[in-house]
Amino acid sequence: MDREAFLKILTPLDVHDTYRELYFQNPAAFAVPVRSWEEFCGRYNELEGEGKTKLPPVPPTPIAPVFSEEEYFPQEDWGEVSVIVNARYCPAFLHELEFIKIIYVFRGSCFFYIDGRWISMTEGNACIVAPGVEQTVFSCADEDIVLNLLIRRSTFAESFWELLESNDGGVIADFFWKMLYHKPGGEVLLFNSRPDMLLEESVMDLYEEALLQPVKSGLVMKSMMMAIFAYILRWKEKDVVWLRKKEKHREYPLAQYLLYMKEHIDEVSLASLAGNFYVSEGYLSRYFRRETGFTFSQLLQEMKMKRAAELLIKTECNIEKIVALIGYTDQSIFFRNFKAAYGMTPLVYRKKKRQAEFMYT
């Protein structure tokens, strides 16, 4: 899809007309973020005068303090990536997400609100929001086209290891690592960049696959999302702004620790990891808990389960081989942990995932 065709699809206001009419009648009511439709209506009536404008009893678009993955991703196996067009003139409703969001300004501009301040975003800018961050977006011009690219946190963790492993590090890569393993409360990264044609093409392709294709492919959508993240990773660090991090960027060793754990998954221990990086076991235990909210053992078990799931899907290895490759000596413990993580036995998981890949690719 070329840019001209894309703009023809997204230019009509449709359901956003209600918000537009309300905005031009009383723009001051939109100046301050709110947390509910009732709060917005109260502010609107207070500024305009009670009863002058009949406000809808319910908002034209969904409003909630927290949006879950179940609300934004369909149950089908391809429902791991999604695209939402930000509603123009929609009041700025503060909310948190359980998933990862990229805000991309395709045309025009918008305002991003976080921690009590408004940040202006213009065409070509992008903002990555980690789960658990209270924020909102507001755009107030007919020309504005702001896209929300959404991905499940678990999908990001499963699909983007390779992308992060192949990167040499830096501010952006460190942010992605934190987004994967940092404890809830997350951070936000803003890219004050000019339009990137390759990124823009990938965004249009993802929109077409996610919203226009009658038969969708989970593999294609994840590949497109990976391309978008890859383009972002190579952006210049001078254009990057940490919106919640005030201290100077410092080395972030968590990525090195996790990569070492993955490379030595069949034998790594807290003692061996500490020895390899010349730190004490006590320091390492405290570091993992502080940075991720999890213990070393919990992170290692999660890593082992993800590796087992990957081997079940991508190889013909039997269970005994997989158990050995990820460092388990007791199959019963492996089966118990795997079922706790995925809700089914390894063989059932392999069968279901392969059937799904056949249907949706």
| Cα 68 from Cα 97, distance rounded (Å) | 6
Q: Is residue 164 part of a domain?
A: yes
> What DSSP string describes 57-80?
SS-SS---SEE-HHHHS-SSTTTT
Would you say the pTM of this structure is higher than 0.85? no
Q: How many domains does the chain have?
A: 2
How many Cα atoms within 13 Å fall on the side-chain side of residue 164? 23
> Which range marks the domain in which residue 268 is found?
254-360
Percentage with pLDDT > 70 across the chain: 91
- Residue, of 134 and 2, whose pLDDT is higher: 134
Among residues 194, 220, 242, the one where a domain terminates is: 242
| Cα 282 from Cα 342, distance rounded (Å) | 31
Residues 222 and 271 grouped into a single domain: no
pLDDT digits (tens, 9 = 90+) for 157-198: 777 777 777 665 667 777 787 777 765 557 788 988 888 899
The enclosing domain of 272 has a CATH number of: 1.10.10.60
- Residue, of 89 and 251, whose pLDDT is higher: 89
The β-bridge relationship of strands 96-97 and 66-67 is parallel
pLDDT at position 361 is 47
pLDDT digits (tens, 9 = 90+) for 256-275: 898 899 999 999 999 999 99
Residues 326 and 353 grouped into a single domain: yes
Residue among 148, 149, 207, 155 nearest 179 (CA):
155
Residues 180 and 142 grouped into a single domain: yes
If pLDDT is split at 50, 70 and 90, which confidence band does 75 have?
low
Residues 222 and 293 grouped into a single domain: no
For residue 175, give both structure tokens: 């942010």
- Residue, of 183 and 117, whose pLDDT is higher: 117
Residues 218 and 276 grouped into a single domain: no
pLDDT at position 168 is 58
pLDDT at position 143 is 92
pLDDT at position 206 is 94
| Cα 251 from Cα 236, distance rounded (Å) | 18
Q: Is residue 47 part of a domain?
A: no
Residue at token pair 């492919």:
217
Residues 117 and 145 grouped into a single domain: yes
- Residue, of 106 and 360, whose pLDDT is higher: 106
Residues 314 and 200 grouped into a single domain: no
pLDDT digits (tens, 9 = 90+) for 4-34: 888 888 877 565 689 999 999 999 999 999 9
The enclosing domain of 84 has a CATH number of: 2.60.120.810
Residue pair 109/144 in contact by the 8 Å Cβ criterion: yes
Residues 140 and 87 grouped into a single domain: yes
If pLDDT is split at 50, 70 and 90, which confidence band does 247 have?
very low
Q: Is the pLDDT of residue 137 over 70?
A: yes
- Residue, of 129 and 170, whose pLDDT is higher: 129
pLDDT at position 250 is 54
For residue 254, give both structure tokens: 């968590």
